[in-house]
Structures are given as structure tokens and as C-alpha cells.
């Protein structure tokens, strides 16, 4: 048996659960992962990703030296090459020796960072703040994200700062901000065992948040809770549920509003709570009249009597809670979908107590933290609006920016940044760890936008589908080679610790940002914030000096199990349950809703509704999981189709099929299964060789600017074996 040189306790780099990991290290390599049983998050349990998905750290394709395009070393720009007749081609991410101006050339850090600083400064001086934009990263630490948004705001004076929250829970964030004034989970996932009744909707929790799903099953089997699942697919949790509401994709508003209708009509409202802690009830009640269960059944396919039963169960519970995922938010009416859920909690008073609450389950390991750190176009750290003078003045003082120096203009969102990539718009883009060429909808349009950028920097661990478009590639470190903190879906801030030094010449993200910011200040003759940190803890303390939610969090205090913010001072124990006495906005706000269908409904030409999501074995755009041994467990993309639909279209299990939409097509194998419902097909979006987002609709929620990933119209045809994509091929990788 191998004996460890040391065991390093850290936090899982995958989903938002935030499980504690013990990395067993021998001779500079992690050879095993376990978990401490005293972890309050996962109690020693791990899913397949946490236990086995760490070996991407050692994948031979990982980039460990800075790389630049050959033409940059020659002092030329993209436009010089284009004007000299350089032919557009697909870029090869591997180093080559053809002497093409588009080849990657390995170089030293000083050269790479000088090129980045020269070009960003040049574009800023020529075109101004609006010409620059940055994607922060939900996989990076709090400290990394804080510094990157700080650099763009304090040096470039732009709020064109966003990250993948725009593509996952933006609808939930906007709805919660409008109604309660806070966008995080109100309770913790472990409180599910205190629920009498809980609703799970838009979340395949067993695959997306497996450890939370274990707690949900325990709540049912050991503690007698009743679970209601509202989902278009027959996910595993349906087997544990008292009631399944198989609603059609995009019909959330009508189903949950019909439940509210029942609660009102049957006088199950907690009027004491409504009168004491909410506003807008009269207008809301008037808007509910049309949402009868029969009306909801006609639109959603859910039986009216099941809607009534669900409403009664939730309303009459002592402790009721709602847990939801991206099946709620990833719609062109994602904000309205989340509002419909929030109204149920307000009507019943199931919020502000242990074992209740409104609980969006965050998808990535640090999407909560990245949002807390200000990695959004509308907010500084701590959700402080950028268009508020008082807020801006606080950060100007913290960052040594002259009064009035920070921009008060809200920036562009993730989806807007790329659509503004054109002459007179965004000219330079910096991406830390994100992969829009997998995560954006309607990828053919995304590819066009990427090609319009004048200068693009990728800071990552692999050259993924987006990094292949970069002019400069800066090699960062994964979780196992860095220190910092992640904030999980419970709002628990936890330590991240390096298990061994970085591979090759890779550097932690925060060090890259500090080195670049120092160069930019020299070029722009601008001395603003501090960039000479000796350790990430200094960065967190600087942020907590203004953001009171983190004011009492130190590395010493979170050394063992973390703290759940708000933690307003160094003696505060943390706040597992929010809103016990009031909401941040004062009173909770009811907002009347209308039913708005999805932008693209099934028709004769495209008779199926496609919904997308994640698998247990994979994660996000696949940059990590598909470069690990997890890929052996689930190596190819599959489309799930109901047996009745498959028989009607002459499709059998494992048959290659072509799935087409109005935007693109992919070829992949079909899994015939009753896990999905009639008329609905499901495709995971992790697979570059059959990228689901070539099909998806880029219609946006007008408030949250989140795309409609969860519903678009498609057709499915039998295909030939020869049409399946070669597993080695990828999306078009590069712009030249």
C-alpha cells in the first residue's frame, strides 16, 4: 500500500456543494482522494467527480508555459496579417514549426505579459474603456476573481465584467434581488432534514449536486419528509418523491402560479407573515385569477389535481423549502420562473426559519464566490450597485482611485460582451478559465463574434475551444496547485490549499493578475491599488474591509470547516439562516406575473423540445472532466428520447441520429429511455464533438440577460454510423 508523504485538506473544484477533500500526495503527485468525516458539508461522502476527477492536473495536454502567436513576437497585429493576405484557417492549438504567423510559440513570462500589457494599453488609449471586457471565472478562487474585476475597474475604468453566473442562475439572482434584496441561498442544504415538505424543481440533483441529493434522500427515508419533484424528466429523485409534476419545459410560471392560486383559494395563506413582512399582495392576488389548475394543466401537461395536491402539501407543512436549479433560470423568462417560486414562500411564510427557505443550487464550485467578489457588470463586491455614488466612493478609497474615477455606468453582460465584439465595440477580451465556445448558446454565432476580436487573452490550464482563439495564452494553476478560498452554494467560505508546487512554469491566477496590473499601471501612468500581495489572505482581507459580509472571515477562522457568511465581524459565528427578522430590502415584494411561452415551441418541422444539462460523470464545458479518467466512464455524447417517440421515428437504442435545430446540427448516439418524457429530448452539453449549444436558442431573458438553454425546437433523424464525429475532432478551434 502506498504511504502518503502528506495529506492536504482542500475543497472540491467541481460543483457548488463544496465538499471537503483530502489529497493524498506521494513524490509530488496526488494518488488518492478521501474526505474527512467531520466535514459539515459532506460528512465523508464524495461523488465520482470529487473522488476520481483530480487527474486532469497531470494530463499531458495541460499548458505549463506561456504561449503567444508568432506574429506578436514580430511586433505585428492581426490586421497586419490580414492585410498582407494571410488566409483564414482553423488554428492548431499544438506547437508547430511551419513558420506561419498564426503558430503558437512558447515564450517566457516577461515577454508574454509585456505583449498583453502593450496591447491592452494600446486599445484602451485608442478606444477607451468600452473597448475592453473581461470574463472572470466560477472555477477560480475568491481572491482571483476579486483581483481581476478590481484590475479592470480600477485601471481600465470599465464595468464590462461578468462570468458564467450569467449563463446559469442569473434569472434567480435578479428575481431574488427584486423580491428580498439578496441573491444567495437563504438556508443551507443540510437543513433539508428539517423539512416536512420540500420541492425540488429544475434540478437533477442526484447528478448535478450528488451529496445534496444524498441528504434529500435521507430527509425522506430517515426523517419522514415529503418530497415534490417538478421536472420534465423522470430524474432519480422521482423514485423518492411523494409527488412528481412532469411539466413541459418552460411552463414553470404557470404551474407554480397555479399552486399559488390554490393556496389563496383554499385559504392556506399565512396572512400574519404576508401582512407583517411583504408588500404588493393586492396587485399579486389580482394577477392570480387566471392561473387556475385547469389552465395550468392545459399548458404544462401536469394534472390539475396534482397541482392542487402539491400546493396543499407545501402550504400546510410546518417547515417547507424549495430547492431549484437551472431548469428554472435558463429560460427567456427565467426571472419570472424564479419569481413564481418566491411567491410560494411568501404566501406560506416558509422563509426566515431553519428548515425552510428559497435555495438556488449553484452549479460551479465558486460561482457564488465569484458573484460575491463583484464579477458581474452591475455590482462591486458585496452586491453594491456600480451606479450608486456612495458605493463607488467606498471602492475608490479602497483602491486609491481619485474621487469620481470609477465608472458609474453598468457594464455589458457575458452574452452582450461577445455580441458587441465589432468595430466601435469590444475590441479586447480577457478570459480567465471560462469557455464561451462551449457554454454560449447558438455557437455558430459565438464563433463569428470571437473572430471579430482584435486582441484576446486566455488564462487557463488547457487550450480549450475558446482558448484556441487566443492571441496570448497564460498558463494558470488548477485547484491542487493554489491557495485561496471558495464559497459554496450554502454561502460557506472554505479554504483551498496547494498539494504541491505548480507544474512547469504555470502560475496561480492571482499572481498573473498582479504582475499584469503592475505593468499596465506603468504603461498608463496610473498608480491606483495595491498589487504587491505576499499571500492570498491579504487579498481576502482587503475585500472584507469594504464588503461587510466577509468582514469577519480570516484564514485562521476558516482553517477547519469554514464560515457561512454574512460574518460581519471577527467574533461573529456565521449566519446559516437568513431573513429571520427582515429582508435586506425591508419587505418582501410580490411581483405580478403573466405566462409567457418559450421563444421556440415545437411544430411540424421541429416536433421535439430539446432541454440540456449535466451528467454525473462530467462537468461544465468538459475542460477538466474530459481531460481526466472520468471521460472513460462516459466517453461520448448521447441524446435521450422517450420510447414512444423513438418508435414513431424509426429510432432504436444506440442508433446514430442527427439532431437539428434552426441554428445547427449535431450527430450522436441515441439512448431510448423513459427518463425523458414524450416530446422532450435531452442532450448533455459537455461534449465538443457533439456540442449541444450548436442547437440552443440565444433568446435572452430581458431582465437577467440569461439565454434559453432549457427549451428549443429540434428534429431527430436516423443517421449513418459514418456520420458520427471522430472522437478526436473538436469544434472549429481558432479563427485563422
Model confidence at 290: pLDDT above 90: yes
What's residue 86's pLDDT? 46
What's residue 733's pLDDT? 41
Distance CA 642, CA 637 (A): 17
Model confidence at 273: pLDDT above 70: yes
Model confidence at 143: pLDDT above 80: yes
Find out whether 714 and 608 touch, Cβ atoms under 8 Å. Answer: yes
Alpha carbon dihedral 603, 340, 374, 452, in 10-degree steps, equals 10
* Residue 400 region by backbone torsions, left for phi larger than 0, else alpha for psi between -120 and 50, else beta: left
Domain coordinates in residue numbering, the chain = 6-58, 107-165+366-564, 170-360, 608-723
Comparing 110-119, 433-442, 523-532, 575-584, the range with the smallest average pLDDT is: 523-532
Going by the DSSP 8-state scheme, the letter that residue 244 receives in this structure is E
- Taking Cα atoms as reference points, which of 313, 318, 341, 344 lies closest to residue 195? 318
Q: What is the DSSP string of 433-446?
A: S--HHHHSSSHHHH
**Which pLDDT tens digit goes with each residue over 307-316?**
999 999 999 9
What's residue 89's pLDDT? 36
Distance CA 358, CA 420 (A): 35
Find out whether 434 and 465 touch, Cβ atoms under 8 Å. Answer: no
Domain covering 107-165+366-564 in this structure, CATH number: 3.40.50.740
Find out whether 406 and 161 touch, Cβ atoms under 8 Å. Answer: no
Phi, psi dihedral angles at 717 (to 5 degrees): -120, 150
Residue found by looking up cell 478562487 in the block: 141
pLDDT tier, 363 (very low <50, low <70, confident <90, very high otherwise): confident
What are the strands of the beta sheet with 104-106, ordered from one edge?
A: 104-106, 67-69, 472-475, 455-460, 428-432, 132-135, 161-162
* Residue 193 region by backbone torsions, left for phi larger than 0, else alpha for psi between -120 and 50, else beta: alpha
Average pLDDT of the segment spanning 520-534: 91
Comparing 472-476, 705-709, 726-730, the range with the smallest average pLDDT is: 726-730
Model confidence at 452: pLDDT above 60: yes
Question: Helix H segments across 399-499?
Answer: 414-419, 436-439, 443-451
Partners of residue 474 on adjacent β-strands: 459
C-alpha cell at 344: 410560494
Model confidence at 428: pLDDT above 70: yes
Distance CA 5, CA 193 (A): 38
Percent of the chain with pLDDT strictly greater than 90: 90
What's residue 730's pLDDT? 44
Average pLDDT of the segment spanning 262-281: 98
**Which pLDDT tens digit goes with each residue over 151-160?**
999 999 999 9
Distance CA 541, CA 538 (A): 5
**Which pLDDT tens digit goes with each residue over 597-634?**
999 999 999 999 999 999 999 988 899 999 999 999 99
Partners of residue 669 on adjacent β-strands: 638, 656
Model confidence at 239: pLDDT above 50: yes
Find out whether 447 and 437 touch, Cβ atoms under 8 Å. Answer: yes
pLDDT tier, 707 (very low <50, low <70, confident <90, very high otherwise): very high
Model confidence at 729: pLDDT above 50: no
pLDDT tier, 529 (very low <50, low <70, confident <90, very high otherwise): confident
Model confidence at 535: pLDDT above 70: yes
Q: How far is CA 508 from the centre of its chain?
A: 21
Mention the CATH class of domain 6-58. mainly beta
CATH architecture classification, 608-723: Beta Barrel (2.40)
Find out whether 187 and 357 touch, Cβ atoms under 8 Å. Answer: yes
User: For all residues of the chain together, what is the average pLDDT?
Assistant: 94
pLDDT tier, 75 (very low <50, low <70, confident <90, very high otherwise): confident
Distance CA 663, CA 144 (A): 36
Q: How many residues does the chain have?
A: 736
- Taking Cα atoms as reference points, which of 162, 72, 79 lies closest to residue 451? 79
| Helix (H) / strand (E) containing 398 | helix 389-398
Distance CA 412, CA 302 (A): 38
Model confidence at 371: pLDDT above 90: yes
**Which pLDDT tens digit goes with each residue over 479-516?**
999 999 999 999 999 999 999 999 999 999 999 999 99
What's the number of CA atoms in the CB half-sphere (13 Å) around residue 283? 9
Candidate CATH numbers 3.40.190.10, 3.40.250.10, 3.40.228.10, 3.40.50.1260; the one for domain 170-360 = 3.40.228.10
Distance CA 205, CA 497 (A): 27
Model confidence at 548: pLDDT above 50: yes
Comparing 94-103, 154-163, 551-560, the range with the smallest average pLDDT is: 94-103
What's residue 736's pLDDT? 35
What's residue 255's pLDDT? 98
Amino acid at each position: 500500500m502506498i504511504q502518503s508523504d502528506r495529506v492536504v485538506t482542500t475543497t472540491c473544484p467541481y460543483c457548488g456543494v463544496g465538499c471537503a477533500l483530502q489529497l493524498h500526495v506521494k513524490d509530488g503527485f496526488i494518488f488518492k482522494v478521501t474526505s474527512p468525516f467531520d466535514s459539515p458539508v459532506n460528512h465523508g461522502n464524495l461523488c465520482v467527480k470529487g473522488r476520481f476527477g483530480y487527474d486532469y492536473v497531470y494530463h499531458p495536454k495541460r499548458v505549463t508555459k506561456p504561449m503567444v502567436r508568432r506574429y506578436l513576437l514580430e511586433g505585428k497585429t492581426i490586421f497586419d496579417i490580414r492585410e498582407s493576405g494571410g488566409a483564414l484557417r482553423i488554428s492548431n492549438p499544438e506547437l508547430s514549426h511551419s513558420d506561419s504567423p498564426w503558430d503558437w510559440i512558447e515564450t517566457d513570462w516577461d515577454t508574454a505579459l509585456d505583449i498583453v500589457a502593450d496591447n491592452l494599453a494600446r486599445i484602451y488609449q485608442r478606444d477607451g474603456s468600452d473597448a475592453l471586457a473581461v470574463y472572470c471565472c466560477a472555477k477560480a478562487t475568491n481572491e482571483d476573481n476579486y483581483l481581476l474585476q478590481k484590475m479592470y475597474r480600477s485601471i481600465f475604468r470599465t464595468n464590462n465584467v461578468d462570468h458564467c453566473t450569467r449563463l446559469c442562475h442569473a434569472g434567480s439572482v435578479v428575481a431574488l434581488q427584486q423580491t428580498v434584496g439578496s441573491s444567495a441561498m437563504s438556508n443551507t442544504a443540510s437543513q433539508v432534514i428539517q423539512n416536512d415538505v420540500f420541492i425540488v424543481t429544475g434540478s437533477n440533483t442526484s447528478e448535478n449536486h450528488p451529496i445534496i441529493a444524498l441528504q434529500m434522500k435521507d430527509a425522506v427515508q430517515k426523517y419522514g419528509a415529503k418530497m415534490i419533484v417538478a421536472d420534465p424528466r423522470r430524474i432519480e429523485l422521482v423514485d423518492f418523491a411523494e409527488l412528481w409534476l412532469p411539466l413541459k419545459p418552460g411552463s414553470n410560471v404557470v404551474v407554480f402560479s397555479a399552486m399559488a392560486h390554490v393556496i389563496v383559494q383554499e385559504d392556506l395563506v399565512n396572512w400574519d407573515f404576508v401582512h407583517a413582512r411583504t408588500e404588493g399582495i393586492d396587485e399579486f392576488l389580482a394577477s392570480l385569477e387566471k392561473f387556475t389548475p385547469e389552465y395550468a394543466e392545459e399548458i404544462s401537461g401536469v394534472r390539475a389535481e396534482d397541482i392542487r395536491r402539491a400546493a396543499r402539501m407545501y402550504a400546510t407543512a410546518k417547515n417547507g423549502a424549495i430547492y431549484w436549479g437551472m431548469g428554472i433560470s435558463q429560460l427567456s423568462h427565467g426571472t419570472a420562473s424564479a419569481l413564481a417560486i418566491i411567491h410560494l414562500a411568501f404566501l406560506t411564510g416558509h422563509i426566515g426559519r431553519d428548515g425552510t427557505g428559497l435555495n438556488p443550487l449553484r452549479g460551479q464550485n465558486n460561482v457564488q464566490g465569484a458573484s460575491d467578489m463583484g464579477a458581474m457588470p452591475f455590482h462591486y463586491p458585496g452586491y453594491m450597485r456600480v451606479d450608486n455614488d456612495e458605493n463607488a466612493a467606498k471602492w475608490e478609497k479602497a483602491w486609491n482611485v481619485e474621487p469620481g474615477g470609477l465608472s458609474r455606468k453598468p457594464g455589458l453582460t457575458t452574452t452582450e460582451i461577445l455580441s458587441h465584439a465589432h468595430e466601435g465595440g469590444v475590441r479586447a477580451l480577457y478570459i480567465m478559465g471560462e469557455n464561451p465556445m462551449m457554454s454560449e448558446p447558438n455557437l455558430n454565432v459565438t464563433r463569428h463574434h470571437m473572430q471579430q476580436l482584435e486582441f484576446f487573452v486566455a488564462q487557463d490550464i488547457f487550450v480549450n475551444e475558446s482558448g484556441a482563439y487566443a492571441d496570448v495564452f497564460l498558463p494558470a494553476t488548477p485547484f491542487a496547485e493554489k491557495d485561496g478560498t471558495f464559497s459554496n452554494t450554502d454561502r460557506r467560505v472554505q479554504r483551498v490549499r496547494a498539494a504541491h508546487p505548480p507544474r512547469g512554469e504555470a502560475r496561480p491566477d492571482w499572481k498573473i493578475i498582479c504582475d499584469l496590473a503592475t505593468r499596465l499601471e506603468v504603461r498608463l501612468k496610473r498608480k491606483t491599488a495595491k498589487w504587491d500581495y505576499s499571500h492570498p489572505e491579504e487579498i481576502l482581507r482587503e475585500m472584507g474591509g469594504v464588503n461587510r459580509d466577509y468582514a469577519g472571515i480570516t484564514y485562521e477562522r476558516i482553517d477547519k470547516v469554514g464560515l457561512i457568511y454574512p460574518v460581519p465581524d471577527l467574533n461573529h459565528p456565521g449566519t446559516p439562516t437568513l431573513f429571520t427578522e427582515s429582508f435586506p430590502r425591508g419587505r418582501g415584494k410580490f411581483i405580478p406575473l403573466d405566462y409567457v411561452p418559450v421563444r421556440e415551441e415545437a411544430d411540424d418541422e421541429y416536433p421535439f423540445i430539446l432541454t440540456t444539462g449535466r451528467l454525473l460523470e462530467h462537468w461544465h464545458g468538459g475542460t477538466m472532466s474530459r481531460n481526466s479518467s472520468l471521460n472513460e466512464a462516459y466517453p461520448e455524447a448521447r441524446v435521450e428520447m422517450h420510447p414512444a417517440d423513438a418508435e414513431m421515428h424509426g429510432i432504436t437504442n444506440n442508433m446514430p441520429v442527427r439532431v437539428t435545430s434552426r441554428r445547427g446540427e449535431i450527430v450522436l448516439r441515441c439512448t431510448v429511455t423513459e427518463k425523458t418524457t414524450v416530446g422532450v429530448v435531452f442532450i448533455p452539453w459537455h461534449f465538443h464533438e457533439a456540442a449541444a449549444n450548436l442547437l440552443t436558442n440565444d433568446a435572452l431573458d430581458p431582465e437577467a440577460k440569461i439565454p434559453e438553454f432549457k427549451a428549443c425546437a429540434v428534429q431527430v433523424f436516423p443517421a449513418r454510423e459514418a456520420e458520427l464525429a471522430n472522437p478526436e475532432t473538436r469544434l472549429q478551434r481558432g479563427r485563422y
